[in-house]
């Protein structure tokens, strides 16, 4: 059977990837940076959503303290401490841009990184900073990135060409793969229950049945839904 390809919006992709990264216990303040690497990986035809689905547990992180940076005559050596490439790519991009702006270029050698080919996402991040980068794998298991200065972005398309294309056309994904990604992302949600419904959104249902908070300006919102779920079985009989 031929696989059916669907086009997933950037909004939907962001939501599902964010949830999966939270399930993986990626640092909450770092989720958006890692999420962009996942989306860029998908746009570049690298591991993307399939790699995330298979290896999301490897994205667990306590901090970036495992990363060590040393300077030498050729540039900078970054020891990733065994972390996944998506976790270190935002930091590698920041380091490269900083050195390039001060010195005209940055020669970065990355060691001790898992899934090193995913470091190519660093190159896709560079237009946002008015920089450019090239990526090369090394036989020793590391990778080298050469970062140079470029013209600052003046339009959304220049800021991130891949993301701009995805906003217009979505991400082309195998339907079965996306269903699996979506199902995994739902594991970040609280189970539907009396408690979860009573504390959903900007409204809280108190024990006495009154609503507290800002009632959404939504034609589909029915406050009785919250009250009904809190009834006992006897009240329904």
pLDDT in tens, 30-43: 999 999 999 999 99
Three-state secondary-structure class, residue 203: strand
Q: Which residue has the tokens 């990355």?
A: 110
Task: Please state whether beta strands 211-213 and 171-174 pair in parallel, antiparallel, or not at all (unpaired).
Answer: unpaired
Extents of the domains making up the chain: 5-186, 194-236
- pLDDT of 194 reads 57
- pLDDT, one tens digit per residue, over 115-145 is 999 999 999 999 999 999 999 998 777 899 9
Q: What is the radius of gyration, based on Cα positions, of the chain?
A: 22
With the C-alpha atoms ordered 99, 105, 108, 114, is the resulting torsion angle positive or negative?
positive
- pLDDT of 214 reads 60
pLDDT lower than 50: segments of the chain: 230-237
- pLDDT of 219 reads 52
- pLDDT of 216 reads 54
Which tokens belong to 63? Answer: 């901090």
| Rounded alpha-carbon distances, angstroms, from residue 46 to 51, 72, 121, 137, 235 | 8, 31, 9, 14, 55
**Model pTM score:** 0.81
Which tokens belong to 209? Answer: 């049945």
- pLDDT of 212 reads 63
């Amino acid at each position: 059977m031929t696989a059916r390809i669907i086009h997933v919006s950037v909004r939907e992709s962001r939501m599902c990837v964010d949830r999966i990264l939270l399930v993986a216990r990626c640092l909450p303040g770092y989720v958006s940076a890692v999420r962009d690497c996942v989306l860029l990986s998908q746009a570049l035809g690298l591991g993307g959503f399939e790699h995330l689905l298979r290896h999301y547990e490897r994205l667990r992180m306590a901090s970036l303290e495992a990363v060590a940076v040393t300077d030498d005559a050729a540039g900078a050596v970054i020891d990733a401490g065994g972390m996944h490439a998506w976790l270190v790519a935002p930091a590698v991009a920041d380091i490269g841009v900083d050195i390039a702006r001060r010195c005209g270029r940055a020669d970065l050698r990355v060691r001790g990184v898992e899934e090193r080919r995913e470091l190519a996402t660093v190159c896709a991040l560079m237009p946002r900073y008015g920089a450019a980068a090239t990526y090369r794998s090394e036989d020793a298991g590391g990778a080298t990135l050469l970062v140079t200065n470029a013209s600052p972005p003046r339009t959304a398309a220049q800021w991130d060409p891949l993301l701009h294309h995805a906003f217009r056309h979505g991400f082309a994904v195998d339907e079965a793969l996306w269903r699996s990604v979506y199902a995994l992302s739902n594991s970040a949600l609280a189970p539907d229950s009396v408690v979860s419904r009573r504390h959903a959104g900007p409204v809280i249902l108190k024990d006495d049945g009154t609503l507290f908070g800002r009632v959404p300006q939504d034609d589909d919102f029915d406050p009785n839904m919250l009250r009904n779920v809190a009834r006992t079985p006897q009240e329904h009989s």
